[in-house]
Amino acid sequence: MGRHSRVEEPASERPDPRITTGTHRVIGKGPRRRVAAWPIACVVLVGLLVAGWFGWNWADGALATRAEAQASDCQEGDADLSVVVAPAAAEPVTKAAMRWNEARTVVHGHCIVVDVHAAKSDRVFDALLGQGDDSSLGGSAPAAWLPESAAWADKLSDERPDLVGSSAEVVATNDRGEFPYVSLAGDGIDSIQQRAAQSFRAYLLAPEQRGDFTAAGLTQP
């Protein structure tokens, strides 16, 4: 058999290899479309902000939970704090003590339970010096005293400085004088009670107690 000669198609009828038609996409060498970068950046930024918000709230909740656990965890048990106060200031101090006790306030691992006893300052002074009825002290050695005049605090400091745990600080006043808070020391008062007495003094001076003092006709500094 002889050889067959290959018939060459005219160049004009040959399909362009760069173009495919039919059901397939036309592929050419034209410029490619670029995707804008800013929408992606916005999506990433929003994601980071949302993640940060959830992380912050989780951390804040964890810290609050830890604080509540520590406040309610009295590792060393309860400890009593006896406070003797002049009758004119007994009501606001008692209300503050109730809030303090409800919060289970912790001092050095102890939940401090504040007991407020109202008594006239002259009787308390005599009882502290061992010259009067101990019932004026509420049945136990007080760790703090709120007389109705700074003169009583000065007198105690002059006659029995060993009974004064820290300098007196005025927590309220009225038109008749000042109500100083005296942290006491001596037999029956340990370091936990002394520390708790100072903490309770600061608590009485907090803004949330001001309304009760005002209602009792007293002004806080």
Q: 3-state class of 184 per DSSP?
A: strand
Q: Where are the domains of the chain?
A: 37-72, 76-215
Return the closest-CA partner of residue 175 out of 218, 206, 215: 218
Phi–psi pair at 120, nearest 5 degrees: -65, 145
Tell me the CATH number for domain 76-215.
3.40.190.10
pLDDT digits (tens, 9 = 90+) for 47-104: 677 566 655 555 455 444 444 444 457 898 999 999 999 999 999 999 999 999 999 9
Mean pLDDT, rounded, for 118-145:
91
Query: How far is C-alpha 159 from the chain's CA centre?
Result: 40
Helix (H, G, I), strand (E, B) or coil at 164: strand
CA distance 32 to 132: 102
Q: What is the DSSP string of 42-77?
A: HHHHHHHHHHHHHHHHHHHHHHHHHHHHHHH--TT-
What residue ranges in the chain does DSSP mark as E strands? 78-85, 106-107, 110-118, 144-146, 169-174, 177-183
Q: What is the pTM of this model?
A: 0.67
- The pLDDT tens digits for 7-55 are 455 555 555 555 444 444 444 455 555 556 666 766 667 667 756 665 5
Beta carbons within 10 angstroms of residue 121's beta carbon: 23
194-205 confidence digits (pLDDT tens): 999 999 999 999
Section 159-164 average pLDDT:
96
Sign of the Cα torsion 6, 12, 16, 19 reads negative
- Whether residue 184 contacts residue 166, with contact meaning beta carbons closer than 8 Å, is answered with no
In degrees, to the nearest 5, what angle opens at C-alpha 189 toward C-alphas 72 and 119? 95
Cβ atoms of residues 213 and 92 within 8 Å: yes
